[in-house]
């Protein structure tokens, strides 16, 4: 898989909206997920803040490996590099949320581990009335080319 | 100052958890993540990354935040950031904690950390919490 030119990736991808969608977490999914996280007890009906990431990934309208395909990278080597999350109001189970997102940046860095592409995307979560959370996540794609 | 119950230097008790492969499977299903590195040890070996499934980044974030959530209501968390520094594998015992680094009139900022079973730091970050 050859590494595409960075400038053409930037021109094509930065600002690209994601389809978006919605999610709702029924109580049983909240229970199972909190168990999987080994979460401390959380007030009934309130979701662990990590659900901002889980829910928005679920509701962004594209599968998790979409970004790898966009940048012509091997999806099985992609890793999450960094996240920033803001919670304006705690998410709740049994409540419908919509997700709006876009690709916000792509950078290429060269280091000891070779060439790495960093792709940032932003996801915003809304309930029926207002924005309740937002996140910026960075996926890192190692390139097979050597530095 | 407000009614913040946290002060600079306050250390959140460290939380320890053993990364169960079954929970990695649950997380892959939750977000429909098809990456085999999170559930198939042979895929991890093929990638030259070891022989056990790798924990998802989102699950590592949860482990780190749990140190805060054991003390502070989840609804008080207004912001958190994480940078992933190393891999966490199934069956690793990770330990996570945090320390308050700044307190203002409307928020406390916490430095988060998480180490893997070898004592290697695998995650750093911050959490910001609102007054009680």
Global ipTM: 0.94
B23/A78 touch (CB, cutoff 8 Å), yes or no: no
Which pLDDT does position A74 carry in this prediction?
A: 82
Closest chain A residue to the Cα of B39, Cα to Cα:
A76
Is the CB of residue B74 less than 8 Å from the CB of residue A46? yes
Contacts of A39 in chain B (CB under 8 A): 62, 66, 69
Query: Domain spanning B11-129: which CATH class is it, in words?
Result: alpha beta
Out of A33, A49, A76, closest to residue B74 by CB: A49
Which pLDDT does position A24 carry in this prediction?
A: 97
**What span, in angstroms and rounded, lies between the C-alpha atoms of B111 and B115?**
14
Domain residue ranges of chain A, discontinuous segments joined by +: 6-142
Residue A147 has pLDDT above 70, yes or no: no
Q: What's the token pair of residue A39?
A: 């979460």
**What span, in angstroms and rounded, lies between the C-alpha atoms of B107 and A113?**
38
Which pLDDT does position B93 carry in this prediction?
A: 96
Give the distance from CA A56 to its chain's centroid: 7
Closest-CA residue to A18 (of A117, A107, A124, A131): A124
Closest-CA residue to A123 (of A14, A16, A9, A18): A18
Is the CB of residue A87 less than 8 Å from the CB of residue B79? yes
Q: What's the token pair of residue B10?
A: 């306050």
Helix or strand or coil: residue B111?
Answer: strand
Q: Name the pLDDT band for B125 (thresholds 50, 70, 90).
A: very high
Phi then psi for residue A136, to 5 deg, are: -125, 130
**What span, in angstroms and rounded, lies between the C-alpha atoms of A67 and B46?**
22
Q: Name the pLDDT band for B118 (thresholds 50, 70, 90).
A: confident
Higher pLDDT, A111 or B49: B49
Which pLDDT does position B35 carry in this prediction?
A: 87
**Superfamily (CATH) of domain A6-142:** Hotdog Thioesterase (3.10.129.10)
B75/A46 touch (CB, cutoff 8 Å), yes or no: yes
Closest-CA residue to B128 (of B105, B103, B109): B109
Q: Which residues partner with A43 through β-bridges?
A: none
pLDDT tens digits for B57-115? 999 999 999 999 999 999 999 999 999 999 999 999 999 999 999 999 899 999 999 99
- Stretch B13-33: mean pLDDT: 93
CA of A78 to nearest chain B CA: how many angstroms apart? 9
- The proportion of chain B whose per-residue pLDDT surpasses 90, expressed as a percent, equals 84
Which pLDDT does position A145 carry in this prediction?
A: 58
Report A:57-76 residues touching B (Cβ under 8 A).
57-58, 63-65, 75-76
- Count H helices and E strands in chain B, helices first: 3, 5
Residue B3 has pLDDT above 80, yes or no: no
Is the CB of residue B110 less than 8 Å from the CB of residue B128? yes
Is the CB of residue B41 less than 8 Å from the CB of residue B52? yes
């Amino acid at each position: 898989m050859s590494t595409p030119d960075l400038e053409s990736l930037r021109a094509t991808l930065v600002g690209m909206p994601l389809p978006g969608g919605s999610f709702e977490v029924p109580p049983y999914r909240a229970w199972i997920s909190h168990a999987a996280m080994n979460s401390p007890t959380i007030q009934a009906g309130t979701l662990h803040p990590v659900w901002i990431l889980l829910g928005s990934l679920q509701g962004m309208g594209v599968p998790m490996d979409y970004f790898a395909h966009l940048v012509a990278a091997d999806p099985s080597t992609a890793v999450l590099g960094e996240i920033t999350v803001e919670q304006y109001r705690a998410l709740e189970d049994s409540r419908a949320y919509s997700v709006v997102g876009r690709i916000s940046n792509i950078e290429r860095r060269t280091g000891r581990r070779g060439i790495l592409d960093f792709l940032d995307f932003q996801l915003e979560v809304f309930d029926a009335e207002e924005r309740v959370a937002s996140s910026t996540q960075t996926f890192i794609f190692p390139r097979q080319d050597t530095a | 100052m407000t009614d913040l119950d946290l002060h600079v230097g306050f250390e959140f008790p460290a939380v320890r958890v053993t990364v169960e492969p079954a929970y990695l499977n649950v997380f892959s299903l939750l977000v429909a993540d098809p990456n085999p590195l999170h559930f198939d040890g042979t895929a991890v070996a093929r990638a030259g990354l070891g022989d056990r499934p790798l924990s998802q980044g989102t699950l590592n974030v949860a482990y780190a935040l749990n140190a805060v959530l054991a003390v502070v209501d989840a609804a008080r968390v207004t912001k958190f950031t994480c940078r992933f520094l190393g891999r966490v594998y199934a069956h690793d015992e990770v330990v996570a904690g945090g320390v308050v680094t700044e307190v203002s009139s409307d928020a406390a900022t916490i430095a988060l950390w998480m180490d893997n079973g070898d004592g290697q730091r695998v995650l750093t970050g911050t959490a910001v919490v609102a007054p009680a």
